[in-house]
Structure 1
Amino acid sequence: PSEMPSRLFKIVSLLTGWKNSLKGVGYFIGSALVTIDYELALITMMGLVVTALPVALFGLDRHLGVTRKKNVSWGDIFVMKERNLFWLSLARLFLFASRDFW
């Protein structure tokens, strides 16, 4: 129906917000613990990851991320029929690579 793109956008934005909030909490906890003791920070953060691991292994669907369509070949990825899309992709590559390098 017509409301599906809007609903999908809301779900994606909600998940992205949760992910970014959780990353922020992790950065905050890690930086607070590092001021106390480095080894304590490492052990605590590893403990949090190990605690979340069973939820990820047993709680998620096994078919999550598996497509029903045929596999994409390297030619499908790197051979572009549209020149403008090629130049846009190349510009984005250099933009983000230079940002990460800086």
Structure 2
Amino acid sequence: MSEAWRALGGRRRTLARQVYARDRATPGYLCHCGRPIDWTLAWPDPMSKSVDHVHETQDGGALTSLDNLATAHLGCNSSKGAQRRREREREQRAAQAVVIAIDPRTI
């Protein structure tokens, strides 16, 4: 959970209730993994519901826009976040890499 999302406090809970109500009312709603949400499961069950940012806030996605929020399994959401963090770290390392070209004629 990002610090910005955590800092929303009560507003975060209100948004979560709105997202859950919207998605639960959508016939055939599925998590991004393709499996249905079991609305009766509670945290910390990995198949319980959680709020997912469709477009990560670090990538420019809106923090509180209902259009950018969707219900996902807790496990799927956690895995997605971890995978995205690893991708960002690889991108940062690649951007910091220094390429040294040596002209063989100078050796």
TM-score (norm 1): 0.30
Relative contact order (C-alpha < 8 Å, sep 6+): which is higher? 2
Choose between structure 1 and 2: higher helix proportion: 1
Higher Cα Rg, which structure: 1
- Scaled by the length of structure 2, the TM-score of the pair is 0.29
- As a proportion of its length, which structure holds more strand? 2
